[in-house]
A and B are shown apart, each in its own frame.
Chain A
Amino acid sequence: MTTSAILLYVDLWIVLCFYGYLLKVRKRIGFQLGMNISIVMGGMAALLSGVLLIIQFPFHFTFITMISTVAGLTVGAFFGLLFDYQTFVTGLTNGIIIGLMSPMIGTVIEMPTMFIIFLHGFFVFSLLTIFHSIKRS
């Protein structure tokens, strides 16, 4: 199962590059789109880190719940801090809730490969939607 570690690394770089892109264009983005961006990115970071880490290390449920919660919290908070104080609090709360839930999904799935492919397709689709709405605004 080295693929899940590589995928986690790739996702980390995707999130960092997207943060750098948003840092350049954040003047053009309104608060409504900013709130949606912080919710989507915090939730996806928590979900991906929880599912991929629990597939990699199935015997450490407690630590992985804490790690994925902290990941969702920090990513939601940093994406929210680009815009406003309210987007900051919304992204932080959403990251906490989804991060506490996500390792449970990782333990009950039957076909891990299919689920990971579906999750990354969903991640790329939401990123493309955000790019499209930034271009239109």
Chain B
Amino acid sequence: MLLIIFLFIWNLLDLSSVYWLFKKKHRLFDDRFTTTMGMAITMTSAFAFALYLKLLLPVDPSGFYLVPIIVGVCIGLLFGSFIQSPALLTGIYNGFMGSIMGMMFGAVLRNPALCNIPIDSATMIESNIVSLAIFTACCHALVSQFIRYSFKV
């Protein structure tokens, strides 16, 4: 669990650096560029944060299932609010879709019998969760690195 908290903080730092770059430089580029880059970072980070929240939060009070969706929609609103309504719609839609997919992925990783995946021992489930969470964090870091590079040029 400590490793997942560490990955969460890493991706949060990446996301906040991308948001800072957007806020500083979005007037230099046209609207299509801002919309496309916001769509890409919204989808990936909503997926990653929904996955981590689904793995970190306890199952028992069932009201917690709304938290990843709200986080995804908030990321979409944040990145869509730089320019007017079309980008807002794209951001909300992509954040919603990404967070629902991340929640589904987290639920399957926690309980592989949902998908008939033949992994049943507890250590196998733990190593599966750790390796796929690290892989998702690396994908998020890759996408945010490409987006930072595109704003520098």
CB distance from B116 to the nearest CB of A (A): 5
* B105-146 at interface with A (beta carbon < 8 Å): 105, 108, 112, 115-119, 128, 131-132, 135-136, 139, 143, 146
Instruction: Give the B interface residue count (CB, 8 A).
Output: 30
Residues on the A chain within 8 Å of B33, using CB:
86
Closest approach, in angstroms, between the C-beta of B21 and any C-beta of chain A? 14
- Hey, which chain B residues are within 8 Å of A108, CB to CB? 115-116
Size of interface on A: residues with Cβ below 8 Å to B:
24
Tell me if A6 counts as interface (CB < 8 A to partner B): no
The answer to whether the Cβ of B104 comes within 8 Å of any Cβ in the partner chain is yes
Chain A residues whose CB sits within 8 angstroms of the CB of B39 once the complex forms: 90, 93
Using A58-B118, A90-B36, A107-B115 as known contacts, say yes or no to A97 and B44 having CB atoms under 8 A apart. yes
List CB contacts (< 8 Å) of B30-72 with chain A.
Answer: 32-33, 36-37, 39-40, 43-44, 47
Kindly list chain A residues whose C-beta atoms are within 8 Å of the C-beta of B135.
Answer: 65-66, 69
Assess the B143–A97 pair: CB atoms within 8 A: no
Q: Given the complex, which residues of B lie within 8 Å of A21, measured CB to CB?
A: none
CB-CB under 8 A for A104 and B115, given A85-B150, A92-B146, A93-B143: yes
Instruction: State whether B143 touches A96 (Cβ < 8 A).
Output: yes
B143 engages A92 (CB within 8 Å): yes
Instruction: Evaluate contact between B47 and A89: CB separation under 8 angstroms.
Output: no
Interface mask (A61-82 → B, CB under 8 Å = 1, otherwise 0): 1100110010001000000000
Q: 6 tightest CB-CB pairs across the interface, nearest first?
A: A93-B40, A86-B36, A107-B115, A89-B40, A96-B139, A61-B117
Q: Interface of A with B (CB < 8 Å)?
A: 35, 58-59, 61-62, 65-66, 69, 73, 85-86, 88-90, 92-94, 96-97, 100-101, 104, 107-108
